Chains A and B, each alone.
Chain A
Amino acid sequence: MQYWHFSETAYPYLPPEETINSIRVTLPNGVIDPDVAMRLWDRYLAEWQIADECGINVMINEHHSTATCMDPAAPIIAGTLGRLTTNARILILGNPVANRKDPVRVAEEMALVDLLSHGRLEVGFVRGVPYEVSAVNSKPVQMSERMWEAIELIQKAWTTHDGPFNWEGRFFQQRHVNIWPRPYQQPNPPVWVTAMSPGSAARVADNNYVIASFLTGYEGTRKVFQAYRDRMAETGRPAPADDRFAYAALTYTGETDEEGLEGARKLMWYVKANKVPFEFVQPPGYTPYFARAAGLRGERSAYDFKSLSLEDLIEEGIVFAGSPSTVRGQIEKFYEKVGGFGHLLLMGQAGFLEHDETVKGIRTFAEQVKPALDGLYSPQSVTV
């Protein structure tokens, strides 16, 4: 098992919730104090450095027009971490390629970060969350098709070394693709793709990419992973190793259960502060129309965690929290329930979880949970 420290790099100092309509898309950036933002970035980078020192990998992501994430350009932070960390693998999960107008630019950025980090980059691709489509003016229809065309173009750009090739696809057109530089890792950095539902798993399996699921709990995750396994079996390929499966959970490890739960309560900001109106949560086309119709009628979305308590979220496998032995037990249970997995993405910082608390959570996990789990699940190489 490999472990990855993830912070969404929020700007949590916001006006009272009842005074704002949305934390995303429309919240004016005048709310930001540039000095505070600068210091937050110093702090978040330091936390990733500490994870690296503790033998934990680092993970970053990218969002736009939102107080929940101050990183609208993941490659910049990945390049920065490439120089600030030493041993950690650096995962971008991910590049929102359904929303990026120029996949060749993404291929170039990833090649550059791979060089800067001396071959420590892991490249994740995501479709992008629904709130992003308004922020970046990206059509919410045909996103999956755009994402896959972009991935295929990027993959070909990384692996073509005999001069320019032509690409006149449905969504992207280029006549001279010939990226300089090329990635350090050969033939290309490891690729991850997120999937939140079983229907998205087959294509990830067909490419032998790592499949990653976020906050989908025991049941949702098991179904996604099983769909990947089923696809491998259907297509006559060997059963996939654990390192093809990744799961992201809010995680806080304390010295005691009480301390762990206290930290997790602060992480809950991530799910509780996500005030976003329906029109940005469910833009037309992002989900099948009949699923959106259910939302229009007022049915709760599967990813609306606002009404759930910390205890509910722990019960569903969405939060791992408590003392080292408790957290270890929760991860072991999760491993059993989903049929095995090889990457745990530790969402270990959110909202008002302060620097000292974040660092304590990282260190406690690294020193008292990871060694015990390493005895159970070999810390295999993550290189494909």
Chain B
Amino acid sequence: MLSLVDSGSGTVVGRAEGEDIVLDVHTSGSGPALVLLHGAEGREANDAFIAALAERFTVIAPSHPGFGLSPRPDWCDSVEDLAYLYLEWLERQDWHDTMLVGLQFGGWVAAEMAVRDCSRLGRLTLVDPVGIKVGGREDRDISDVFAISRSELDARHYADPAAGPGDLSQASRDDVLHIARNEEALALYGWEPYLHNPRLQRWLHRIHVPTLVTWGAQDGVVSPDYGRAYADAIPGARFELVGEAGHRAQIEQPDTLAKLIAEHSA
């Protein structure tokens, strides 16, 4: 089992149902504040990307409740809960003009935050986000990551499948525990409706901070066309395709993405 953080080792980010919400939060670098919301890969898998961002930003990277080493209060079981939790955190910290970056599942969380309240945000970047429904009822916009083999998962998540965790019987025990815990959390928050909120798309026009939507050109989980539709729904959003990258573009092209985000912040 993993040793989760507690009130001694973790960071109190908010309070609900009479208890503090404690998360594993990693802060690195210096410069303007950038809050990074990870996807199903978990924060630990994004070290190279975080290091690249930390050259220009103070990167504040929480693990969502139920992911990584963050405990999950029993009541916390929806993306809406996560959105309110992080909005409350921004308010408590009295952060302004925050650069909010959401990766895949974390992009969904970031979009849910932004449609509710942009007042603490300076700019928004979404990297291959999920969260909306674009196609018809018989179109599967988002591959069913719970119903495919590990090798197909790697092939869909990465332009070069070798960038993925590969054969898990050869992976470290800790890495596999993280994968298992993160996938459980993803199922909890995103099983049904599958990795989207049917109501989100109609409110994306409420996002009124400059927004960059980037997409891995070889994303096999959600297509670039879905990404274009996402960007089209956000007023003034810019869409950028990132070459030689799959769904988890930040893992395969950390420097390119960090550079795009730096330009977006300028």
Residues of A at the B interface (CB closer than 8 Å) are 25, 134, 137, 139-142, 277-280, 283-285, 289-290, 292-293, 296-298
Contact = CB atoms under 8 A, between A and B. Distances in A.
A296 B187 contact: no
Given A134-B147, A296-B180, A141 B188 contact: yes
A296 B77 contact: no
B148 A279 contact: yes
B16 to A, nearest CB: 16
Contacts of B184: 141, 284-285, 289, 292
A177 to B, nearest CB: 24
Contact of B179 (A134, A280, A293): A293
B266 interface: no
A289 B181 contact: yes
B183 interface: yes
Interface of B: 1-2, 77, 144, 146-150, 168-169, 171, 173, 176-177, 179-181, 183-184, 186-188, 191-192
Contacts of B171: 297
10 contacts: A134-B147, A142-B77, A279-B147, A284-B183, A284-B184, A285-B187, A289-B180, A290-B180, A292-B184, A296-B168
Contacts of A292: 180, 183-184
A297 B173 contact: yes
A134 B2 CA distance: 27
Given A134-B147, A290-B180, A296-B179, A141 B187 contact: yes
A290 B146 contact: no
A25 B1 CA distance: 31
Contacts of B2: 290
Nearest to B77: A142
A298 B183 contact: no
B149 A293 contact: no
Given A141-B191, A297-B169, 10 more contacts: A134-B147, A139-B188, A284-B187, A289-B177, A289-B181, A293-B176, A296-B168, A297-B173, A298-B168, A298-B169
A284 B176 CA distance: 13
Contacts of A25: 147
Contact of A139 (B1, B149, B177, B192): B192
A134 B169 CA distance: 25
A280 B173 contact: no
Contact of B146 (A142, A279, A298): A279
Nearest to B172: A297
A240 to B, nearest CB: 31
* Closest 10 pairs (CB-CB, A-B): A293-B180, A298-B169, A284-B183, A139-B191, A289-B180, A284-B184, A141-B188, A289-B181, A284-B187, A285-B184
A284 B189 CA distance: 12
Contacts of A278: 149-150
A297 to B, nearest CB: 5
Contacts of A298: 168-169
Given A139-B192, A283-B187, A296-B168, A290 B177 contact: yes
Contacts of A289: 177, 180-181, 183-184
A377 B180 CA distance: 46
Contacts of A297: 168-169, 171, 173, 176
A142 B176 CA distance: 22
A297 B187 CA distance: 20
A137 B147 CA distance: 11
A289 B169 CA distance: 16
Contact of A134 (B1, B146, B180): B146
Contacts of B181: 289, 293
B72 to A, nearest CB: 11
Contacts of B191: 137, 139-141
Contact of A283 (B77, B146, B150, B169): B146
Contacts of B192: 137, 139
Contacts of B183: 284, 289, 292
B137 to A, nearest CB: 14
